[in-house]
Structure 1
């Protein structure tokens, strides 16, 4: 976890520096991100304590990791995660200051081309008549959030395979920084739900109108979408996690989580595939993302994992 801590602190420093270069309200943005993470620190440390207890018990039974190493790694992972997530908030809200939104029309056309002339959200809403969309919205909201934040702590406390931990941490960093920042800057887009507000017209006017049913989870998503827009327009992105569609961090993290679970328990493959499919479906159904956003994220993380796994296997073979 030493390397992850160094990366997180560097990421935070670079994100803050870039914010001060490109935006007038950088100090507010940085302090806002730190306040958000500070408010979540009690829950984060409680979860860390829980994982440490589980790790100490499991490692004692299996005799795989010294108790001191478990505690120290967990502490480093928690501090690193807090700085890492704060850095991502700063980076994501700063990106429109670097490159304004421009790529939505391109991605909308790509989406229709890939789906034989029909916008994917239309297909998703047709399917929504037969699917438990509000329950799937709960998976999209909460099933994604926990591994997105807690995976480093999980690896620090409950995984004693150093090769797998290094491989997953590299995937984790790539899922956020490469996908969420570097690739996102190459195709700055806001997503279908915000398309008409940014570019004018009514190309996606029927998207929010055809959400059904609007249960508590979908209501939470709609409320979040409106809050993101208000933050973007009125608060100048001082607070919040910002708007950015391409590629999908939801799908990069979901794919990474599925890969990790599959590596540890191969029989879970059908379950993790359904999980990724649910996140992909809801990302399109809610209008947060174009379908291509998810396709690119899944392909990138899967390709990087295959490369890293082959590299690690080769290293073992020729050691």
Structure 2
């Protein structure tokens, strides 16, 4: 009979404690305010996505071994895929970690869906006024569309904007399974939780706003952003007419989100919130994490952050200020967590590690 090693759970106790605290606070808010509580489909989605990621990872790792010209690739591959069976405590810890992360995302979506109930949308007019003052009398979307003025450019921007979901998922999986640098792992995952809850939860409620694409719907059919939405629709139709493989997919997503909002439906990724931008926040967190892992990868991370900031404005999702606020807040959370997490000497590894990360 195999006895589970408690070392992985002790190592990650600060991550679990943070998740537990968030869920308890969310439950208290649910009881007091009557806001939505956790939804189970996030857990199911997470593990389905994880299973698919594992299958893809097994295939990719085999070709990586061939590329490295390992002397005995089959033997190394066998060690890799047998790791969960030889070290069940680490495998169980990964499963529990994914469950905890999925619960945090469920908390975030529940909070996001309740924003207009707790604090009805109000901040957009002030943000719009500030935007014009900061950007010399222009709305930021006018500047991005002047710089990237073709339908193809908008389609490419939308493609990279949508890839954000994939990169976030890779971020989660990597730091759930990569245990070599325990301190960085703790810093990344706790910062991840902190950003979603503080920036995407608390501040999103305080700064309740809908963003340009929903402005007309939320503010008495105001035509202020009609030129932007008309332009995006024209570019989308042009890309379709040219049989391009890319389009302005944001338009359909925005329609679905607003329909879900007015129907009060419970769906994946539901809820509307502009300030602060979680897309920009997560792009910032990924850039910080990549920089800590590898300086060259970090450069790519910061370039991707620029792309997300531009895309959030260009596609009508956000005001530029939403990103301007998210970036320093995310950096502050990153360094605050770094001071709070234990030093490398305090986080001891008592369990063998998976070879790719060792």
Please indicate the TM-score interval, normalised by the length of the shorter structure: 0.7 to 0.9
The structural deviation recorded for 1:273 is 2.0
Distance in 2 between residues matched to 1:158 and 1:263, nearest whole Å: 14
The structural deviation recorded for 1:298 is 0.8
- 8 Å CA contact retained: 1:134, 1:217: yes
- Report Cα offsets for 1:246-272 as digits up to 9, x if no partner: 000101111101111111111234322
Choose from 281, 288, 297 the match for 1:268: 297
Distance in 2 between residues matched to 1:217 and 1:292, nearest whole Å: 28
State the match for 2:176 in structure 1.
156
5 Å-filtered alignment, 1:207-218, equals 207-211=228-232, 213-214=235-236, 215=239, 217-218=246-247
Distance in 2 between residues matched to 1:127 and 1:159, nearest whole Å: 43
1:238 matched to 2:266: yes
State the match for 1:85 in structure 2.
105
Moved more, 98-107 or 208-217: 208-217
State the match for 1:203 in structure 2.
224
State the match for 2:53 in structure 1.
47
State the match for 1:174 in structure 2.
194
The structural deviation recorded for 1:30 is 4.3
- 8 Å CA contact retained: 2:183, 2:344: no
Select the structure of larger CA radius of gyration. Answer: 2
Distance in 2 between residues matched to 1:316 and 1:45, nearest whole Å: 31
Distance in 1 between residues matched to 2:46 and 2:342, nearest whole Å: 41
Distance in 1 between residues matched to 2:281 and 2:89, nearest whole Å: 29
Residues 4 and 313 from structure 1, CA distance in 2 versus in 1: closer, same or farther, beyond 3 angstroms? closer
Quote the RMSD (CA, aligned, Å): 3.1
State the match for 1:250 in structure 2.
279
Distance in 2 between residues matched to 1:231 and 1:193, nearest whole Å: 15
State the match for 2:159 in structure 1.
138
State the match for 2:312 in structure 1.
283
5 Å-filtered alignment, 1:295-310, equals 295-309=324-338
Matched position secondary structure for 1:77:
helix
- 8 Å CA contact retained: 1:261, 1:272: yes
> What is the number of equivalent residue pairs in this alignment?
303
State the match for 1:224 in structure 2.
253
- Report Cα offsets for 1:194-239 as digits up to 9, x if no partner: 1121112211111111126314654421111001111111x12433
- 8 Å CA contact retained: 2:158, 2:249: no
- Report Cα offsets for 1:258-295 as digits up to 9, x if no partner: 11111111123432222001111110011111100001
State the match for 1:4 in structure 2.
15
Matched position secondary structure for 2:40:
helix
The structural deviation recorded for 1:181 is 0.4
State the match for 1:294 in structure 2.
323
What TM-score do the two structures reach when normalised by structure 1?
A: 0.83
Distance in 1 between residues matched to 2:279 and 2:260, nearest whole Å: 20
Moved more, 38-47 or 109-118: 38-47
The structural deviation recorded for 1:170 is 2.3
